[in-house]
Amino acid sequence: MAAADSPTTARKDDAHIDRDWVVRRRLIDGVKVREVRNIVTGNGITTELYRPDWDFVDGAVQQAIHVALRGQAISAWHQHKQRWDYVFVVGGHLRVVLHDPREGSPTRDQVDIFHLSPARPSLLAIPPGVWHGVQNLSTDVSCFVNLFNRPYDYENPDEWRLPPDTPEIPYRFGA
């Protein structure tokens, strides 16, 4: 079948990147993504994860953790009321899904989906109040570094959770 004879149900893709390979998309209000570059050295690869002069973090980084997620595992849903989350994948392939339930947000009820890996390194900023879930798309362990603008409060954690299949979020994790 020739291109002109394609079925009438076919949908033409919108452009999703520009000439400089910058991804075009409308993000949830407050969400930021900063793509960074790998530097190939004589003995491997160096990747800069974060610098204060990027003006990317709300405040200053106050805590950093490393997370290793089992193959095919899902960690969802998670939210902070006060803290920003900054996610940087250092190994494997993760699907990070965001949902904006915030009253008054111009992107209320929007869902953003990110595929993150060291192949195209990016730092993802998730504002307070935005639900987020992570799915390891690899069969092996995937790892990420999580930075926060406020340290974990052992006495009163700013941690809120919903199950992966909650009807409150219009997204279902799958293959």
How does the average pLDDT of the chain come out, rounded? 92
pLDDT given at position 6: 56
CATH number for 69: 2.60.120.10
Pairing state between β 122-126 and 38-41: unpaired
In a domain, 52, yes or no: yes
- Mean pLDDT across the stretch 72-86? 97
Q: Tell me the residue range of the domain where 92 lies.
A: 29-150
In a domain, 44, yes or no: yes
SS (H, E, C) 22-69: CECCCCCCCCEEEECCEEEECCEEEECCCCHHHCCCCCCCCEEEEEEE
In a domain, 172, yes or no: no
In a domain, 9, yes or no: no
In a domain, 141, yes or no: yes
In a domain, 114, yes or no: yes
| 20 pLDDT above the threshold of 90 | no
- Mean pLDDT across the stretch 97-113? 98
In a domain, 4, yes or no: no
Q: How many distinct structural domains can be found in the chain?
A: 1
- Mean pLDDT across the stretch 70-91? 97
pLDDT given at position 76: 96
In a domain, 161, yes or no: no
Span 119-148, pLDDT tens digits? 999 999 999 999 999 999 999 999 999 999
